Structure 1
Amino acid sequence: MPPYTIIYFPVRGHCEAMHMLLADQRQSWKEEVTMETWMKGSLKASCLYGQLPKFEDRDLTLYQSNDQQEVVLLVVVNNGVEDLHCKYERYVRALPAYLKPFEMLLSQNEGGQAFIVGNQISFVDYNLLDLLWIHQVLAPSCLDSFPLLSAYVAHLSARLKLKAFLASPEHVNRPINGNGKQ
């Protein structure tokens, strides 16, 4: 039995970065929940904020960096990614202004040759990668004026296990969210 359980709707949504992270790190997981289960209400009532996704690890372990500045920057970047995730449909025309800070962060981290923060991949990288793909569905040329972000997407997408997951039916056939976009 896989050590992890992801409880979420059958869409990419806020959970796809988690799928990418687990696949890239060679971790197995099982998925649970259908709209029918959610509509019954007991699952929603069991969620702390009444929302999904929910991630379960039979031996929950939290890791913390010793570099407090890096931890803070990871949180700041992830909050920036989440802000974009919630607003993306309303700002496609203004998207370059929102992407510029991420391009700048990449330029400040080994000239864009590393990850968004530090020299090790983090959850934020998967989250940003998923968000950039979503934006490319909505606005295919959105990265044309951002060479570092374009190279970042290509670099992360080429990671062996992540590339295999991204080509798999589990990823390809899962809608981005409930709006029917794929």
Structure 2
Amino acid sequence: METKPKLYYFHGRGRMESIRWLLAAAGVEFEEEFLETREQYEKLQKDGRLLFDQVPLVEIDGMPLTQSRAILSYLAAKYNLYGKDLKERLRIDMYADGTLDLMLMIAQAPFKPPKEKEESYALVVKRAKTRYFPVFEKILKDHGEDFLVGNQLSWADIQLLEAILMVEELSAPVLSDFPLLQAFKTRISNIPTIKKFLQPGSQRKPPPDAHYVEVVRNVLNF
């Protein structure tokens, strides 16, 4: 029996959340160890499991994987969510990198002073509506398929849905001018493995709160 992947990170979203999404969409069960103390983090460092002394860390296939982008591309390839050829993989990479830019803006905002945090969230919504979502609306319109690349579910679809839901937490009507993205959101949300992940009680994490911010600061000493 194959060992379940094990994820080492904080009890929150951050750079691990897209990894959780990808595994869940692939129907892969995983275990988690949450970092709550500086000592836990230092032990991972001393054990040589953090290549650049950074988390997230994912143990899978007998390997300790670090660097979130590398982890995501490995998982996408392993679970057939990375297109059928190099050209499709390139498009998936471009689309995933675009949504990641947006999500990192959201992930970093809670660590800023209150005024800057609110300004960051407002900028996220603005950029989503003017820079990112129009691109994906056009992609869906131009090729007329259910998915962003080819006609099958890929890492790009999963991460776009994650990004949409994150921005909707900041502004519920953000998709009001994007009918194809509205339909995309409904369609991808109803894929059985993803629908399960979106239910209460799953391993999906809530938006970061003050406690999460405090734990991260204490563990990483910043």
The equivalences for 1:3-14 within 5 A come to 3-14=4-15
Cα distance in 2 for partners of 1:160, 1:91 equals 29
Tell me how far 1:73 sits from its aligned partner: 0.8
- Quote the offset at 1:23 in angstroms: 2.4
Distance 1:39 1:29, change over 3 A: closer
* Aligned AA (1:50): D
Measured against aligned partners, the alpha-carbon deviations of 1:85-124 in whole angstroms (never above 9, x if no partner) come to 1224333234311211111112223x2x421211121222
Describe the shift of the 1:97–1:180 C-alpha distance in structure 2 as closer, same or farther (beyond 3 A).
Answer: farther
Match of 1:75 among 93, 105, 119: 93
Residue 31 of structure 2 is matched in structure 1 by 30
Gaps of 5+ in 2: 64-73, 107-120, 213-222
Q: Specify whether residues 117 and 153 from structure 1 end up closer, same or farther in structure 2 by C-alpha distance, changes over 3 A only.
A: same
* Displacement after TM superposition at 1:3 (Å): 2.4
Q: Is the 8 A contact 2:102 2:128 kept in 1?
A: no
CA deviations on 1:122-144 (whole Å, 9 max, x unpaired) are 22221111111000000111111
Question: Which residue of the partner structure matches residue 53 of structure 1?
Answer: 56
Contact in 2 for aligned 1:18/1:123 (Cα 8 Å): no
Letter in 2 for 1:49: F
Q: Is the 8 A contact 1:85 1:131 kept in 2?
A: yes
- Give the drift of 1:39: 6.4
Structure 1 runs (4+) deviating above 3 angstroms are 37-40, 59-66, 177-181
Question: Do the aligned residues in 2 keep the contact of 1:3 with 1:28 (CA within 8 Å)?
Answer: yes
More displaced stretch, 132-141 vs 5-14:
5-14
**CA shift for structure 1 position 65:** 5.1
Contact persistence 1:12–1:176 (CA under 8 A): yes
Aligned residues: 178
Would the aligned equivalents of 1:78 and 1:127 in 2 still touch at CA under 8 Å?
yes
Residue 103 of structure 2: aligned partner: 85
Give CA deviations for 1:129-176 in whole Å, capped at 9, x if unaligned.
Answer: 11110000001111110111111111111112221221131346x222
Q: Which runs of 5+ in 1 are unaligned?
A: none
User: Normalised by the size of structure 1, how large is the TM-score?
Assistant: 0.82
Give the residue type in structure 2 aligned to 1:17. Answer: S
Sort the Cα spacing of 1:104 and 1:162 in 2 relative to 1 into closer, same or farther, 3 A.
Answer: same
Quick one: distance in 1 between partners of 2:20 and 2:42? 25
- What whole-Å deviation, never above 9, does each CA across 1:19-45 have from its counterpart, x for those lacking one? 233223221111113221576434357
TM-score (norm 2): 0.69
Identify which of 119, 132, 137 aligns with 1:103.
137
The Cα RMSD (Å) is 2.7
